[in-house]
C-alpha cells in the first residue's frame, strides 16, 4: 500500500534545558498528541503518571506544568523519529522513519548522561538507524524502558511494575 502525504507525521521539538541529565525518547507522537501539539496527550498513555511518580511529585494539571516539572527534575523529552509515515497511532504501523540528528543534539547538550527509551519501537529504531557506538565514546548510558502506552499486548506490564522499572532513571538525575 502506497502511503500518502496525509500519513506523513512530523515530531515535535525537544523539551530540554541545561539542567537535563536524562533524555527520554519516544518513537513518534500519536494522533491525539499531534492534534494537540503535546507530547503524550492521550489520557490513556501513562507517561505523565509514571514520570510524576518516579520523580516523587504530584501529577500536574496543565501541559506547561508537566513540562516544567520534567525540566526542573533533570529530564528532557524528545522522539527518535523526526518524520515517518503512519496511518493512525500504532507504532507497528510506522513506515519509512527518518531519525533526528542525535550526534549534533548530544554535542549541543553534553550534560545528558543517560537515554531512556520509551518502549521497544523507540529503542529498536534508534539501534538500527543511529546505533550505540557514539554512546561508547561519550559514556552515555542507554536504558530500554517498558512502554508507557496502556495498549493491550503480549508483554504489557501493569503501572506499578512500570513505575518500578522507570525509577531506574532517578540515579541519573539526583
CATH number of the domain where residue 150 is located: 3.40.470.10
Give the number of domains in the chain. Answer: 1
In a domain, 137, yes or no: yes
Residue 144 lies in a domain: yes
Is the residue at 73 inside a domain? yes
For the chain, what's the residue count?
174
Strand partners, 85: 8, 95
Lookup: cell for 18 = 541545561
Residues 29-48: tens digit of each pLDDT:
989 999 999 999 999 999 99
Choosing from 45, 73, 100, 118, which is the catalytic residue? Answer: 45
Would residue 118 show up in a list of annotated catalytic residues for this protein? Answer: no
- Residue ranges making up the domain that contains 160: 6-173
Q: Is 110 exposed, middle or buried (0-12, 13-18, 19+ CB in 10 A)?
A: exposed
1 within some domain: no
> Which band of pLDDT confidence, cut at 50, 70 and 90, is reported for residue 137?
confident
| Mean pLDDT value across residues 66-95 | 89
Q: Residue 15 domain-assigned?
A: yes
Q: Considering the entire predicted model, what is its pTM? A: 0.92
Q: Is residue 115 part of a domain?
A: yes
Amino acid at each position: 500500500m502506497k502511503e500518502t502525504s496525509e500519513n506523513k507525521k512530523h515530531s515535535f521539538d525537544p523539551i530540554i534545558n541545561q539542567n537535563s541529565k536524562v533524555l527520554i525518547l519516544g518513537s513518534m507522537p500519536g494522533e491525539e498528541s499531534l492534534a494537540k501539539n503535546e507530547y503524550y496527550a492521550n489520557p490513556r498513555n501513562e507517561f505523565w503518571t509514571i514520570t510524576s511518580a518516579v520523580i516523587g511529585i504530584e501529577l500536574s494539571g496543565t501541559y506547561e506544568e508537566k513540562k516544567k516539572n520534567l525540566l526542573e527534575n533533570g529530564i528532557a523529552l524528545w522522539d527518535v523519529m523526526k518524520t515517518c509515515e503512519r496511518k493512525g497511532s500504532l507504532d507497528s504501523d510506522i513506515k519509512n522513519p527518518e531519525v533526528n540528528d542525535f550526534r549534533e543534539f548530544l554535542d549541543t547538550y553534553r550534560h545528558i548522561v543517560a537515554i531512556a527509551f520509551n518502549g521497544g519501537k523507540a529503542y529498536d529504531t534508534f539501534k538500527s538507524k543511529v546505533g550505540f557506538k557514539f554512546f561508547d565514546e561519550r559514556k552515555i548510558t542507554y536504558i530500554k524502558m517498558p512502554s508507557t502506552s496502556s495498549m493491550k499486548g503480549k508483554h504489557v506490564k501493569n503501572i506499578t511494575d512500570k513505575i518500578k522499572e522507570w525509577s531506574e532513571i532517578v540515579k541519573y538525575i539526583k
